[in-house]
Structures are given as C-alpha cells and as structure tokens.
Amino acid sequence: MAESATEQKHPDRLVVVETAYYQQVGHLPLAIETRFSKPLESREQLYQRQLKTTQEWESLDVGWIKSVGMLLLKNCAGKDLQENPSEQLAAEIASSTIELGIPDCRSSFTILVPPGESARFCPSSLDLLVRCKNVANVPYVLTLIPG
C-alpha cells in the first residue's frame, strides 16, 4: 500500500513532555522541564507488556521490536493497594527496586527504577537484563517505541 502525501510529510512522531520538581525546605520549587519531539523512522506498532520480575537476571522481553526509539519502564510495586499496607508489606514494597542491566556490565552498572517510579531512555541495544534482587514478582509495565 502506497503512503499518502500526508504520511510522507508528517511521519510518526515521539513527543515527550515532562516536569520534575526539586523542592527544598524554605525555597520555591525548581521546575526542570523536558519537551521534545522527534520523527520515527519505523511505522511499527509500539510494544507494551505488563510483566513481573524474578530475583535472577532475565533477558528483557522486547517482543518484535528490532530498533527502539525509546524504552519506558514503570515500576508498579504497591500501585493497586486497597488499604494501608502492614509494616511488613510496606517494607517489601520499599525494597522493590527494579534493576536494568547490560549483560557484561550488570555487576558494575545498572539503571534503578524504585517503586512507583519510571525510567525512559534510548538504549543503543535491546540486549538488556531485568530483575528485582530483593523481591520476586514485582509488577512493571514495559513500553518500547520503535525507532
């Protein structure tokens, strides 16, 4: 199927808009804003999965994605609690930091994603490993946007 003139002029895009605030007691919050967009070369659909970690390093499930424009990982530990957690559960949630590592460097360099937080970046390779060394079955959402 041939691309229309509109599709040729306006390719698929990735748009990011985020604001982080640094708050010091006695000072106004400082907003750090990031806004950008970039065209995507691929017309593939994004790959998104709800997954769970193990305590051992496992290859990151990247589905059909061959070239990634952006990887987003959201740590969902403690997200769907219906009541206040017990002290034991609160401690387990607090220790549910997900680690992303590179196979040959996983002991010296990892990306940490604490409970309730997310990370986004553009990896140079999809040969990545994932785990939560303290707690098994930590839920997370992985989104891969084709490059």
Mean pLDDT of the chain: 89
Residue 11 pLDDT more than 90?
A: no
More confident residue, 1 or 49: 49
Domain definitions of the chain by residue range: 41-146
Record the pTM: 0.85
pLDDT tens, 67-92? 888 999 999 998 877 678 888 888 88
Q: pLDDT tens, 40-73?
A: 888 889 999 999 999 999 999 999 998 888 999 9
Q: What is the dihedral of CA 26, 113, 120, 27, to 10 degrees?
A: 0
Q: Mean per-residue pLDDT for 115-144? A: 94
Place 35 in a pLDDT band, splitting at 50, 70 and 90.
Answer: very high
CATH code that applies to domain 41-146: 2.60.120
Q: What are phi and psi of 72, to 5 degrees?
A: -125, 130
Helix or strand holding residue 91 (H, E): helix 87-94
Distance in Å from the first CA to the final CA of the chain: 21
Q: Are 65 and 126 in contact (CB under 8 A)?
A: yes
